[in-house]
Amino acid sequence: MRPSRRAPDELRAVSLERGVVKYAEGSCLVKFGDTHVLVTATLEERLPPWLKGQGRGWVTAEYGMLPRATLERTRREASSGKQSGRTVEIQRLIGRSLRTALDLEALGERQITVDCDVLQADGGTRTASITGAWVALADCISWMKARNMIKTNVLRDHVAAISCGIYNGAPVLDLDYAEDSSAETDANFVMTGDGRIIEVQGTAEKTPFSQDEFLALMALAQKGVARLVDLQKMAVG
Amino acid sequence: MRPSRRAPDELRAVSLERGVVKYAEGSCLVKFGDTHVLVTATLEERLPPWLKGQGRGWVTAEYGMLPRATLERTRREASSGKQSGRTVEIQRLIGRSLRTALDLEALGERQITVDCDVLQADGGTRTASITGAWVALADCISWMKARNMIKTNVLRDHVAAISCGIYNGAPVLDLDYAEDSSAETDANFVMTGDGRIIEVQGTAEKTPFSQDEFLALMALAQKGVARLVDLQKMAVG
Amino acid sequence: MRPSRRAPDELRAVSLERGVVKYAEGSCLVKFGDTHVLVTATLEERLPPWLKGQGRGWVTAEYGMLPRATLERTRREASSGKQSGRTVEIQRLIGRSLRTALDLEALGERQITVDCDVLQADGGTRTASITGAWVALADCISWMKARNMIKTNVLRDHVAAISCGIYNGAPVLDLDYAEDSSAETDANFVMTGDGRIIEVQGTAEKTPFSQDEFLALMALAQKGVARLVDLQKMAVG
Amino acid sequence: MRPSRRAPDELRAVSLERGVVKYAEGSCLVKFGDTHVLVTATLEERLPPWLKGQGRGWVTAEYGMLPRATLERTRREASSGKQSGRTVEIQRLIGRSLRTALDLEALGERQITVDCDVLQADGGTRTASITGAWVALADCISWMKARNMIKTNVLRDHVAAISCGIYNGAPVLDLDYAEDSSAETDANFVMTGDGRIIEVQGTAEKTPFSQDEFLALMALAQKGVARLVDLQKMAVG
Amino acid sequence: MRPSRRAPDELRAVSLERGVVKYAEGSCLVKFGDTHVLVTATLEERLPPWLKGQGRGWVTAEYGMLPRATLERTRREASSGKQSGRTVEIQRLIGRSLRTALDLEALGERQITVDCDVLQADGGTRTASITGAWVALADCISWMKARNMIKTNVLRDHVAAISCGIYNGAPVLDLDYAEDSSAETDANFVMTGDGRIIEVQGTAEKTPFSQDEFLALMALAQKGVARLVDLQKMAVG
Amino acid sequence: MRPSRRAPDELRAVSLERGVVKYAEGSCLVKFGDTHVLVTATLEERLPPWLKGQGRGWVTAEYGMLPRATLERTRREASSGKQSGRTVEIQRLIGRSLRTALDLEALGERQITVDCDVLQADGGTRTASITGAWVALADCISWMKARNMIKTNVLRDHVAAISCGIYNGAPVLDLDYAEDSSAETDANFVMTGDGRIIEVQGTAEKTPFSQDEFLALMALAQKGVARLVDLQKMAVG
């Protein structure tokens, strides 16, 4: 039995609210249960120096948590003067995942910066961030289309992400913090709308896992992502 | 005529929503029009080293802005590796203001950290932060009372803050960004529920101002703070 | 009775010594009693990037304290790797105050950097810095005039600053450290030669103060600044 | 055809040389072809503060590259003042992987720090690091056993790692830099001696990949790791 | 002919003014011509962690330059966030030099921090700093003796320092900036009152130098230091 | 008797192995007994900003130690976020020493960066670094000649370095760690192939030394450097 009494393949309540911030070209408040992330997409007519003059654009991501998004207060990274290893890992993952789904040539020599700020954390902040970031990105692309800044299709496919894990010996979908902190194994899957894999990260928290266990997690993730992609379609539809 | 068509002594729509974050001992989402700040109060049974063993507690504040809280994206301070001078100034102001309203001996050897994170900025983020921080702090104190951690009254009085300025030659209350960026003079007042001053900061943005102008601003602030204190009473009541 | 036996409206012995450093375009060793600040003004034919090509110049300030300027040694900021919040606040105040008194268009596309380094601190280092900085700035402007670099008048008016506070229940002018550390309330006024206000910062150190108390402080400041402006006139005359 | 003319399931020449550094409790110079990593294991009778008094030990890892380990010189991280996101990601991966293979209770309240320094990089530095780190760790454990510092078996199993990728449409094992920089997909597998998975990271560099492609990579990795474990046995045997 | 018309073995005008700062246990304003350094010695009843409980004290030094001590303004190290390599080198030299002259056991478990802050720089700031630091240190030791904190003699001997160089082919003593910036060779000698060497640093700025040239510099230094030691005796006498 | 049983004027076994790194334009693994340093020379067609357009090139050096190059593990500088004072001092010394031996005009507007990374440290890492760096630099120059990038002779002379010290009252050459840590006096000499001095640094570790003692050390160094220059000739010959 899961602490939340969910079925093994059951997502938490997911919501994807668009247009939540006044200034950004795209934004989304994404909730996976009690995990709440505010995502904005900022379009800028500039590029990192190493990319200039190559005829393509760039998407990058930054991630942060409000200090009291967590059970105990976490030190503010702006005040400690550096981003933690965990933060760096997550924002690199978000950026890579989104870039794979985009036609950077079609974007033109522009940069989109996706900011994912966790207002409240209850497990799965990186998967919620990616799922919501796709919505903010889609809105930013629509904003550009409405201004005739781009012509061809820039977004190749949906991108969504979900965690799975082995909890009490059984594979379960979309771990909340109670499950995450005691799971034997934990994996994050980033996938496209057509079910292919963009990124997979599996970690044995306590004991190594078998290939079969891994395949069971992958099957769950496939289901979960399909559901998230449906929700994204409804949100931007 | 003000850009927002408000009367000279008219506040923006103010809302003070409590309990917006699951984990914090106190929290408040404060809105002054389009300025939105999420405030949390965190109680910890520890003190800064220089304060240990003196029989009193401490209140400190941190302030941050989400990168796209502003019209153009601001660089994330966690990524640039330092807090800007403006951030440091504001969080010191918030901390000082709250401490003046608290009986630190009655608090006991504990620290309350108030985090003010600006989700959207349209002028007056520091005054909104202080006004909302008082509500989060009051909730944190109630949380402690409910657990018999404190007995006597810790909160001596209300604390609220408002900006005033000379815009197009006339004194006006509660500047939004459109006014703030072109005001001749701009002042922030932090006051108690009984109308006394905790902190006043007046700055001639363009031309120095006379004592009479300053007194006109102070009179407006008095009105504005009285209204904010009423709203605080309704919120915590 | 004040610890220094001064009358309530009596300044400490003030001296403004010009030309104390060999290389700088302007310099002043300012003393407010035992508070000694070495101020230099450096002229450079360059501008911060965000100001280029706008036809106007810039004045900025930096502030520092020698480690043993204080009763107990303070850690050297160059060695700790960052400027304290207090330092940042003070240097921003000095810069803003001086800019208000200058015609930045008339200055041309140049930058003047004012460095205020406290050799010995006995309260009032920021007000002494501003008062001395005006003298260094005036000398720097004279240096430019002597070289025909500017034609019209760049300095619009004098700028001087003084602290006031409520000490033992009575308003007093120009607090030294003994008073400052136990004052109930403490305010800094930056004013022009014609008595208008550039910046005012009042802080209730212990108990909030009334409007009347604040007006009493402002009246004292008016007197003190008038006296400082006289001394500036004698210094540069 | 692979640039190195290797068969799709062929590792590069691998060597694991022990005892290469005079002072360390364990060390290994690991070579995967032209990728050379110097690994040391340092035993210290101290723990990170958050782990004290819990009756178990800790293994942590740090990773670095000499500036000219690469085709073009990379800026020295000690001189730029921070570790790159890539470095942080890799050293966290190495630490997690090694901890899974260790009985931290049996280790006692001690810390082993594994330093992986890349002398020359030709792809696969993280997998070479993990594979060599296990050897250095095993030697460190032997060193402790020889001094009766531990009794029961601390090392539960082997840990080795290998990369796989889809290069020119075909799955290949152990990518060198020429392959890595143009592979469509790229995955790193960390596995135990009995073929279970400790960590898997798959990334679609250009186009998302299917589950079948991923399974083909996993099968290759299984073969590669089995071979590496044989080499580890010969090295420490 | 030297730019200053001094004889080859002639020092600049040297002055050693004691007691120039109100709070420090020892202080000295040292001038070597237009090079002015303010030195303070701070006594603290604490030690660096690695020295605790060994029954001896410590002397350490810090060095800084005011931004406009130089012909062109130098960036403030507190604001750039790090001390330059040059600063670090100099402060380590000062600390080492002073420690050699002190009986650290006799000092007891205390630390003296010597701060050398250059108010104006015209060559030779490190040698002036060391020469003045000895005076400040001597005063700090006297301060301790007057309070019966130490009994035996702590200061074993004088320490003074001077630069020499080959300028226009001839060896000269005590280089000013005009000479220093075009000297072929440049050496700094730190010596005791009895003419022995504590530290010597010789650098070929342009062309390597012979042993004979080096011996000529050493002979000059011997003369110069003897004169400085006389001046120290007069200062503290 | 020296701990290593060497004669007073006997170097440790020295080896200079070239071409040890695949990518660098020049490289050398230098060993002075158990002190092992990997040196690379990197040629880049760019210059530090302050040197552009002056028709000459630049040589700079960076120095680092692997964390476990030493008896006890040293904290990784990349992770602590700054280079230690010792590191900065050493890399400045290496850079200065090499520049003196080079005709920077003949080099053209290019920069050579020499990286010295200590794999194992047993005293004398800076002298080994300089001696090996000359070899790597010579190879880099040959690489350029082979590509007709330079015509005239860029390397004016050899540069090699050795330490000497007074150990148990007697002058000895090439101190290892056992001697270095208990020597009374310690000096490093950087010299050219024709016996002239580029840099000399002598430090009284415990008691000041006389001129005669210093001359004895210089004579030893002369012998040692002559031997090192012979070995450099054999290495590059």
Can you tell me the distance from the alpha carbon of B226 to that of B161, in angstroms, rounded to the nearest whole number? 10
pLDDT at residue C207 greater than cutoff 90: no
The amino acid occupying position E208 is P
The candidate with the shortest Cα–Cα distance to C31, out of C113, C121, C96, C165, is C121
pLDDT of res. C205: 79
Which chain A residues are closer than 8 Å to D199 by Cβ? 201-204
Give SS3 for C91: helix
For B214-224, how does the pLDDT look when each residue is reduced to its tens digit (9 = 90+)? 999 999 999 99
Average pLDDT over residues D190-201: 95
pLDDT at position C228 over 90: yes
Residues of chain E where predicted confidence (pLDDT) is lower than 70: none
- Place C22 in a pLDDT band, splitting at 50, 70 and 90: very high
Confidence grade of residue A199 (pLDDT, cut at 50, 70, 90): very high
Average pLDDT over residues D40-66: 95
Mean pLDDT of B160-174: 96
* Start-to-end CA span in chain E (Å): 36
- Interval C29-48 mean pLDDT: 97
Chain-chain contact of A79 with B69 (C-beta, under 8 angstroms): no
**Residues of chain A contacting residue B113, judged by C-beta atoms under 8 Å apart:** 67, 73
d(CA E226, CA E14) in angstroms, rounded, equals: 13
Distances (CA, A) of E64 to D93, E112, E174, E175: 42, 17, 21, 20
Task: Express as a percent the part of chain A with pLDDT over 70.
Answer: 100
Residue pLDDT, tens place only, C112-158: 999 999 999 999 999 999 999 999 999 999 999 999 999 888 999 99
State whether C68 and E119 contact (CB < 8 Å): no
Q: How far apart are CA E165 and CA A11, in angstroms?
A: 78
Q: Which residues pair with A52 in a beta bridge?
A: none
Chain B partners of A42 at a C-beta cutoff of 8 Å?
A: 67-68, 73
Instruction: Please check whether residue B96 is in contact with residue B63, taking contact to mean a CB–CB distance below 8 angstroms.
Output: no
Mean pLDDT of C24-50: 97
Determine, for residues D21 and F119 on separate chains, whether the beta-carbon distance falls below 8 Å.
yes
d(C-alpha A61, C-alpha A130), whole Å: 10
The answer to whether B90 and B133 are in contact (CB under 8 A) is no
Chain C neighbours (≥3 Cβ pairs under 8 A) are B, E
Chain C closest-CA separation from residue B20 CA (Å): 30
CB pairs under 8 A between A and B: 88
- Residue of chain B with shortest Cα separation from C193: B208
- What is the pLDDT, as a whole number, of residue F203? 94
Which tokens sit at B20? 């917006």
**Taking an 8 Å Cβ-Cβ cutoff, which residues of chain C contact chain B?**
82, 85, 88-89, 91-92, 96, 100, 157, 187, 191-192, 196-204, 206-211, 214, 218, 222
Say whether B27 and A113 touch across the interface (CB within 8 A). no
DSSP string for E65-133: E-GGGSSSPPPPHHHHTS--HHHHHHHHHHHHHHHHTB-HHHH-S-EEEEEEEEEE-SS-HHHHHHHHH
Residue C126 among known ligand-binding residues: yes
Question: Does A206 have pLDDT greater than 90?
Answer: no
Distance of alpha carbon B89 from alpha carbon B100, whole angstroms:
17
- CB half-sphere exposure, C210, CA atoms < 13 A: 5
Which tokens in the block code for residue C178? 């003994």
Chain A residues within 8 A of B81 when measuring between CB atoms: 81-82
| Angstrom distance (rounded) from CA A44 to CA A47 | 8
Touching partners of A (3+ C-beta pairs < 8 Å): B, D
- Do residue B203 and residue C96 have CB atoms under 8 angstroms apart? yes
User: Predicted confidence band at C203 (pLDDT cuts at 50, 70, 90)?
Assistant: very high
**Interatomic CA distance for residues F158 and F230, integer angstroms:** 10
Superfamily, domain D14-236: GHMP Kinase, N-terminal domain (3.30.230.70)
In degrees and rounded to multiples of 5, residue E53 shows phi and psi of 75, 15
Q: CA torsion, points B213, B218, B220, B224, in degrees to nearest 10? A: 160
Measure the CA–CA gap between E2 and C45, rounded to whole angstroms: 33
| Residue F105 · residue F56 · CB < 8 Å | yes
Q: Is the pLDDT of residue A205 over 90?
A: no
| Residues 6+ positions from B5 with CB-CB distance below 8 Å | none
Q: How confident is the model at residue A207 (pLDDT cuts 50, 70, 90)?
A: confident
Task: Give the pLDDT confidence of D40-51 residue by residue, as tens digits.
Answer: 999 999 999 999
Q: Which residues on chain A place their C-beta less than 8 Å from a C-beta of chain B?
A: 21-24, 27, 34, 38, 40, 42, 44, 62, 64, 66-71, 73, 76-79, 81-83, 87, 113, 115, 117, 119-120, 122
Question: Is D40 within 8 Å of F70 when comparing Cβ atoms?
Answer: no
Out of B27, B64, B120, name the one closest to residue A22 (CB).
B120
pLDDT at A200 over 90: yes
Q: Is the pLDDT reported for residue D101 higher than 90?
A: no
The tokens for A226 are: 């399909």
Which pLDDT value is given to residue C141? Answer: 96
CB contact under 8 A, D21 and F67: no
Q: Of E96, E136, E112, which is closest to residue E45 (Cα–Cα)?
A: E112
Tokens of C211: 């409007």
A182-186, B157-161, F139-143 — which is least confidently predicted?
A182-186
Helix ranges, D101-210 (H)? 104-107, 125-146, 177-180
When CB atoms are compared, the residue of D73, D78, D113 closest to F83 is D78
Measured between CA atoms, how close is F218 to chain E, in angstroms?
Answer: 9
| pLDDT over 90 (residue D221) | yes
Distance from CA of E217 to the nearest CA of F (A): 12
pLDDT category at D158 given cuts 50, 70, 90 is very high
**Distance between CA atoms of B209 and C199, rounded to whole angstroms?**
9
CB pairs A-D closer than 8 Å:
86
b/e sequence A17-45, b meaning 16+ C-beta within 10 Å: ebebbebbbbbbbbbbbbbbbbbbbbbee
Interchain CB distance below 8 Å, B197 and C218: no
The beta-carbon neighbor of B38 closest among A24, A66, A87 is A66
Extents of the domains making up chain E: 14-236
Quick one: pLDDT band at residue D207, thresholds 50, 70, 90? confident
**Cα F174 off chain centre by:** 13
- If you measure CA to CA, which chain A residue comes closest to D185? A198
At residue A31 the predicted structure's pLDDT band, cuts being 50, 70 and 90, is very high
Question: How far from the centroid of its chain's Cα atoms is residue F181's Cα?
Answer: 20
CA-based nearest distance C91→chain B, Å: 9
Report, as ranges of residue numbers, the positions in chain F whose pLDDT lies below 50.
none
Q: What is the pLDDT of residue B129?
A: 98
Chain E positions touching C68 (Cβ under 8 A) are 21, 23-24, 27, 40, 42, 115
Is A135's pLDDT higher than 90? yes
Strand ranges, E, within chain B: 14-18, 26-32, 35-44, 58-65, 111-120, 159-167, 170-173, 185-192, 197-204
Chain A residues with CB within 8 Å of chain D CB:
82, 85, 88-89, 91-92, 96, 100, 157, 187, 191-192, 196-204, 206-211, 214, 218, 222
d(CA A220, CA B237): 48
State residue B151's pLDDT score.
86
The CA-atom distances, in angstroms, between C57 and each of C25, C104, C114, C115, C154 are 16, 5, 14, 17, 11
Q: Residue with structure tokens 């799709």?
A: D8
